[in-house]
């Protein structure tokens, strides 16, 4: 159990276009989903936290108008990279946390999406 999927796994787009990445919890309801960005050989950098039905909370330095996050249901969160540029090329990972209250519910990670902007 506790499987999180991401789609697409890889995407190549032209500069100036927008790209949407989906994150789904397949067998549990995710009250909270997290979006990370990871550069090669580096750690995961938290971009934002999204709770179902409310606005996402962005980390300092992350442009909320560039990285639009929607968490419309308990099983789906989307990250839209708007007007993508080559510097947005990266590996994007989502994670989902279920249950109610406390921190006993661990984060389950999706397999990641590699975005390349030409």
Partner 1 sequence: AQTVTQSQPEMSVQEAETVTLSCTYDTSESDYYLFWYKQPPSRQMILVIRQEAYKQQNATENRFSVNFQKAAKSFSLKISDSQLGDAAMYFCACGGYNQGGKLIFGQGTELSVKP
Binding residues for partner 1, rule: CB under 8 A, are 32, 34, 38, 41-44, 46, 49, 51, 91, 93, 95, 97, 102-103, 105-107, 109, 111-112
Least distance between partner 1 and beta carbon 32 (Å) = 5
User: Longest Cα pair distance anywhere in the chain, in angstroms?
Assistant: 42
Q: Residue 14 or 60: which CB sits closer to partner 1?
A: 60
Cβ-count burial 7-16 (b if 16+ within 10 Å, e if not): eeeebebeee
Least distance between partner 1 and beta carbon 98 (Å) = 10
Distance CA 115, CA 11 (A): 5
Helix, strand, or coil here: 88?
helix
Least distance between partner 1 and beta carbon 111 (Å) = 5
């Amino acid at each position: 159990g506790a499987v999180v999927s991401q789609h697409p796994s890889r995407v190549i787009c032209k500069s100036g276009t927008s790209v949407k990445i989906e994150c789904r919890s397949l067998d549990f309801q995710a009250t909270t989903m997290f979006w990370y960005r990871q550069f090669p050989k580096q750690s995961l950098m938290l971009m934002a936290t999204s709770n179902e039905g409310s606005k996402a909370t962005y980390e300092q330095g992350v442009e909320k108008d560039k990285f639009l996050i929607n968490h419309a249901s308990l099983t789906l969160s989307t990250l839209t990279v708007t007007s993508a540029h080559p510097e947005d090329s990266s590996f994007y990972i989502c994670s989902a946390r279920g249950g109610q209250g406390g921190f006993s519910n661990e984060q389950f990670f999706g397999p990641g999406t590699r975005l390349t902007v030409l």
